[in-house]
Structure 1
């Protein structure tokens, strides 16, 4: 048997649950399945995600502990080979500041490092984190991020642009590109049909700034995908990991990366919804293991996702 390719080495700083799939539990397995070596740092270790009706137990990593972990990596010369850094939910300004210090250290050792940031702030008009984190993301994170994966509410917060149609979405993207981020992927967007929405479908938009020496506006991509009704925890962590993997594996072909990532995502969520409706998934956890073939080999020929340039 031949040696399989390793596509990159990822430092993933996210939450961890003993049971279920959110944070690193939602991101590490898909990345490994798709050929990436992943070093996870668990920002929290909880028994289960915070949405359970009887609560949760566990511990939160503080900034000094994160610093010590990275010092251990440095002492053993283990920070020199990272190709990517991935971050998700961060609950305090102090910890986010320490994450930025980690990025600086790793970037110095790995100048080609790409930073994929899922700026988990809230959804549908409600913040999940202290309000002061918004400014830290806007002023300090966006300028060093390579790829940003906000939802519609987060895009509006970070860009200070209300997204009501495709034109305003472009303005929001432009505001973030102007601060330095190369690619912005609006992972979910609901617009009325007369403003570019797709009725019962879910809209994803991706904006990619031109490279050095390239003229013209950012490239804009649109994906229309069937909407699966329901609330699913861990999907944002999963889609960020899938975009990281497929952006690399398609050599930056955004049309192909979107189609593959969204096809896998739709299959995972659909399978999860079926199990919930059938009474086999009382805790509503996304079914990652059961969906491993859809993650490793998404059936793009099924034409579930319609991806176009805009």
Structure 2
């Protein structure tokens, strides 16, 4: 474990209400002992899953890179930026945390099997990143998180039970937790286990809370805002029930 005081510059979206982007990452990082400085790539009233949202977006004079490419089949950034991520940003990164859709965008590969996932990860390693952590994959009817370390050719995975909802901000939380735990731990297996178990506990707590909301006019997006503050103890000391295995 490193003794140096960790300090993070987090460049992500910001919402006034709710938990995505910097709002999803800052609190967990601070709980785990990190000083966090933030630059907000956008500032919105709430995330775009709501019926109404308003706010501002930084232009290319202020920022040229938001770390989130897209999810669930559509891009969050203009199509013309894809090659900048592939050719300019990837070689600069030590750790990258794509979801399955982003992994396909960055490699140009279609991923339907675990062997195709392995090949795509190798492509990303060849472009520079030492650690590739695929936050979530839905392959062969299993929800799985996979992390690979190029230095010693380690590749591990954790299968995650499904929770019947789609959460906004969970990928941002995954990236923040993995960053923290790869810094604090010497073992990538422990880092991934702490990351996934924390994330699963937060999502499970959020899901069960959503079932208690009975207001007829409550938006689904509001019901499933991440219960981060209520998960303080889980973030600081997660229960390790889901285990990583080599593959």
User: Which secondary structure does the structure 2 equivalent of 1:15 belong to?
Assistant: strand
1:1-310 equivalence runs, <5 A: 7-53=5-51, 55-65=52-62, 95-96=64-65, 119-192=67-140, 198=142, 202-210=143-151, 218-251=153-186, 253-279=187-213, 282=218, 283=222, 284-300=224-240, 303=241, 305-310=242-247
Cα distance per residue 1:239-293 (max 9 Å; x no partner): 1000001111112x11100110111100100111111111179412111000111
C-alpha RMSD of matched pairs (Å) = 1.8
- Shift of residue 36, structure 1, vs aligned partner: 0.3
CA distance in 1, matches of 2:42, 2:77: 15
After superposition, the C-alpha distances for 1:152-201 in whole angstroms (9 at most, x for unaligned) are 11101111222122211111011111111111111111111xxxx54xxx
Q: Where in structure 1 are there 5+ consecutive unaligned residues?
A: 67-94, 100-118
> Unaligned regions of 5+ residues in structure 2, if any?
none
Normalised by the size of structure 1, how large is the TM-score? 0.73
User: How far 1:6 sits from its partner (Å)?
Assistant: 6.4
- Aligned residue pairs total 239
Structure showing greater relative contact order (alpha-carbon pairs closer than 8 Å, 6 or more residues apart): 2
Measure the CA separation in 2 of the matches of 1:307 and 1:267: 16
* Greater radius of gyration (CA): 1
Alpha carbons of 1:6 and 1:57: their partners in 2 closer, same or farther (altered >3 Å)? Answer: farther
Distance 1:65 1:51, change over 3 A: same
